[in-house]
Each structure stands twice: as structure tokens, then as C-alpha cells.
């Protein structure tokens, strides 16, 4: 007899409810460490949660319709998630990128977006942020039926994580004591922190930032690893409930990604290595009465960092 397998209806019906794993090791023997494996989302990162939630909500509330052009400035996982999900929903997606995009991401975004606009003129400070936003504004004026996602300021970005990842993290253990989240647009930590504090008011939320990022007031410095840190302060962070911030250097990110791979057989992206490094650093000299339950996320896989974090020549050239 043929058994009927449970079948998902289209790839995007598999967003969320990612695997939860326990990581053991002498370096983390004073804590119980639980990790949400966000690379199991359909386009390979935590950003599928935001892309699907935001687009569905905008359609449901009537803020966009089937003819609206979706616009976003993004060179990373969010661009991949948005371009895929807009295609699934039959929406046009215009993506604004810059020359710092990795060749893998550019290939994927080019093949899935309706149009890609590459800003090549650097800003006065050598970055591209100002000119990318200028391009977004230009497109909005040119196409009146358009919607700028603006992940740094859109409250739906945080809402996505409140309703999905935050709830799943609350169920990671019988009690949640600490949650570590790497920050870039601030959407993940804002949503997750609010949900965790609703359920576990005494849990501590630790933001993980990268040396050179200005999010929490640190001095700006050139950074090379995408997905964590920012050169501007994200407005949605105003609503986050953060207890402490831990800084990790990009060299520590590289070392910890390699440690995760070689010791724990997890091929993870940059912010995952940053979270792992921050957790070890935080608990290295902490006096603990009992073993705390610590929850974090590994936002994506190592594949997209093949030419950077996992390339010894690149690391040597970049002095990481
Ligand atoms: C790999 C990775 N980790 C972490 C984050 C940070 O998430 P958020 O932008 O919600 O702060 C991102 C965001 O792009 C990411 O791509």
C-alpha cells in the first residue's frame, strides 16, 4: 500500500517552525544552549519570516494591491527573500543594490527581481547608503503605485518576528533566561524581545553588534561582513526591549564560524558566528547559581560567505 505523505503547498508554506537544536561543548558547559536554525527557511535565511509577513499584511490591509511595485534597498538575505516571495505573489519587485553585493546574492536577486538598480556612485563618506536611499525616493516618485518596504523603519518588520520567531523561542525550553540576537535592521530583536518579555519578563535580552557598527553608539569603522551591524541607527529599535549589548570583532566572527563548522559541524553565516562568540564571551566569567537556558538563532548558512569568511585568502587580505 502507498502511504500518503504530508505535503506542503508550495515552498513558502514552509516558512518558520525551524528546527531547534541543542549545542553542547566544554566551552559552553555552564549553560544550556538552544539554537533556532533559520537557514531551514525556504530561501535560506531568517528573512523569509519578514518578507512573507510584511507582504501578506500589506495585501490584507489593502496598503498595497496586485499592481503595486514593491521597492527595497537591500543587497543581502532580505533581497533574496523579498524577490522570491514577490514573485510567488505575482508582485513586481524593484531592488536597489550597490557594488558591495556578493556575486552569489547578485545572481539570485537578478534572476528573481523584476528590475535591479545598481547604485555605483559612492556617497561623500565612501559608502552607498545615502545614494541608495536617493534612488529609492526617485523610484517612488516615478511610480506612484509603489511601496517602499523600508525594513529599518517599518513596524511590520518587527511584528513579523513577534508573531513567529519570538513565540517559537518562548517554547524552546521550559523557561527562557537569556536570548542573544545579532542586530542589523533591528527587526528581529525588536519583535523577539517584546514577545520574550511578554512571556518571561525576567529574561535578559542581549543584542549582539559588530565592532565598527554605530547601532548602539559605537565608533564607525569599515566593516566587511554583511548581515550584522549597520552604519545608521534603525528607528524600529526604539521599540526593542534590550538589556545589554555585546560587541564582537569581525576576526572573532571568522574564528567562531570556523569553530562551529569544525567542532559542531554547523556551516553557518556571519551573524551566527557572532552570536556564538558573544555567548561564550558573556558567560566566560559570569557567576551563575544554576545553569541558565540560553536561546539564540543562526540566521543563515555558510554558503553565501564562501568567498569571504570561509576563504582564507580573503581573510588574510582583509586582515581578519
Ligand atoms: C544573516 C543575518 N543575520 C542577522 C540579520 C539581522 O537581522 P535584522 O535585520 O532583523 O536585525 C540579518 C539581516 O539582514 C542577516 O542577513
> Does ligand 1 come within 6 angstroms of the Cβ of 183?
yes
| For residue 1, pLDDT beyond 60 | no
What is the C-alpha to C-alpha distance for residues 161 and 187, in angstroms, rounded to an integer? 7
User: Which pLDDT tens digit goes with each residue over 192-226?
Assistant: 999 999 999 999 999 999 999 999 999 999 999 99
Distance CA 111, CA 300 (A): 20
Q: Whose CA is nearest to atom 15 of ligand 1?
A: 227
Instruction: Say if residue 2's pLDDT is above 70.
Output: no
| Nearest one of 312, 314, 291 to 28, comparing CA atoms | 291
For ligand 1, whether the C-beta of 44 sits within 6 Å is no
Average pLDDT in the 15-29 region? 97
240 C-beta closer than 6 A to ligand 1 = no
- pLDDT tens figures, 104-116: 999 999 999 999 9
Average pLDDT over residues 33-61: 98
DSSP string, 247-258: EE-HHHHHHHHH
Is pLDDT above 80 for 51? yes
* Separation CA 166–CA 51 (nearest Å): 16
Cα angle: 120, vertex 123, 124; to 5 degrees: 140
Ligand 1 proximity of 187 Cβ (cutoff 6 Å): yes
List the residue whose alpha carbon is closest to atom 14 of ligand 1. Answer: 227
pLDDT-derived band at 129, boundaries 50, 70, 90: confident
Q: Is the CB of 269 under 6 A from ligand 1?
A: yes
Which pairing describes strands 32-37 and 20-23: parallel, antiparallel, or unpaired? antiparallel
Averaged confidence pLDDT in the chain = 95
Sketch out the chain's domains with CATH numbers.
Answer: 11-43+162-314 (3.40.50.1100), 47-148 (3.40.50.1100)
Residue 279 reports pLDDT greater than 90: yes
Contact 218, 209 (CB under 8 A): yes
Query: 112 alpha carbon to ligand 1 midpoint, in Å?
Result: 20
Task: Label residue 5 by pLDDT band (50, 70, 90).
Answer: low
What's residue 262's pLDDT?
Answer: 97
- CA 50 to chain CA centroid, nearest Å: 9
Q: How far is the CA of 320 from the centre of ligand 1 (A)?
A: 21
What is the DSSP code (8-state) at residue 11? G
| C-alpha cell at position 247 | 560587541
227 lines ligand 1 (CB under 6 A): yes
State in Å: Cα 189 to ligand 1 middle.
Answer: 9
Which range is least confidently modeled, 84-93, 126-135, 198-207?
126-135
pLDDT of residue 234: 96
Q: What is the pTM of this model?
A: 0.96
User: What is the whole-number distance in angstroms between the Cα of residue 5 and the centre of ligand 1?
Assistant: 34
What is the structure's pLDDT at 96? 98
The answer on pLDDT for 128 being more than 60 is yes
> How many angstroms separate the CA atoms of 209 and 275, rounded?
9
Q: Report yes or no: 297 and 36 within 8 Å, Cβ to Cβ.
A: yes
- DSSP labels, 122-162: --TTS-SHHHHHHHHHHHHHH-SSEEE--TTT-HHHHHHHI
| Band (123; pLDDT cuts 50, 70, 90) | confident
For 286, residues 6+ apart whose C-beta sits below 8 A from its C-beta are 30
For residues 118 and 89, is the Cβ–Cβ distance under 8 A?
no
Amino acid at each position: 500500500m502507498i502511504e500518503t505523505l504530508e505535503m506542503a503547498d508550495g515552498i513558502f508554506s514552509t516558512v518558520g517552525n525551524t528546527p531547534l537544536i541543542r549545542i553542547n561543548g566544554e566551552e559552553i558547559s555552564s549553560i544550556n544552549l538552544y539554537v533556532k536554525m533559520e537557514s531551514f527557511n525556504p530561501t535560506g535565511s531568517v528573512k523569509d519570516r519578514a518578507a512573507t509577513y510584511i507582504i501578506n499584511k500589506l495585501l490584507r490591509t489593502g496598503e498595497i494591491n496586485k499592481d503595486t511595485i514593491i521597492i527595497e534597498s537591500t543587497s543581502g538575505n532580505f533581497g533574496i527573500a523579498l524577490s522570491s516571495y514577490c514573485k510567488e505573489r505575482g508582485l513586481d519587485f524593484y531592488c536597489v543594490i550597490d557594488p558591495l553585493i556578493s556575486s552569489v546574492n547578485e545572481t539570485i536577486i537578478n534572476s528573481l527581481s523584476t528590475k535591479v538598480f545598481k547604485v555605483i556612485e559612492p556617497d561623500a563618506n565612501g559608502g552607498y547608503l545615502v545614494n541608495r536611499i536617493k534612488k529609492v525616493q526617485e523610484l517612488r516618485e516615478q511610480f506612484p503605485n509603489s511601496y517602499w518596504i523600508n525594513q529599518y523603519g517599518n513596524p511590520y518588520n518587527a511584528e513579523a518576528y513577534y508573531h513567529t520567531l519570538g513565540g517559537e523561542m518562548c517554547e524552546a525550553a521550559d523557561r527562557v533566561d537569556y536570548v542573544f540576537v545579532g542586530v542589523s535592521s533591528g527587526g528581529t530583536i525588536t519583535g523577539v524581545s517584546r514577545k520574550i518579555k511578554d512571556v518571561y519578563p525576567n529574561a535578559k535580552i542581549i543584542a549582539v553588534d559588530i565592532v565598527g557598527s554605530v547601532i548602539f553608539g559605537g565608533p564607525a569603522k569599515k566593516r566587511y561582513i554583511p548581515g550584522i551591524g549597520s552604519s545608521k541607527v534603525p528607528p524600529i529599535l526604539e521599540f526593542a526591549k534590550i538589556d545589554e549589548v555585546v560587541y564582537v570583532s569581525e576576526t572573532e566572527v571568522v574564528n567562531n564560524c570556523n569553530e562551529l563548522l569544525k567542532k559542531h559541524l554547523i556551516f553557518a553565516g556571519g551573524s551566527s558566528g557572532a552570536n556564538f562568540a558573544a555567548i561564550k564571551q558573556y558567560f566566560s566569567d559570569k557567576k551563575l547559581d544554576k545553569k541558565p537556558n540560553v536561546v539564540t538563532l543562526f540566521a543563515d548558512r555558510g554558503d553565501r560567505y564562501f568567498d569571504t569568511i570561509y576563504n582564507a585568502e580573503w581573510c588574510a587580505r582583509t586582515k581578519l
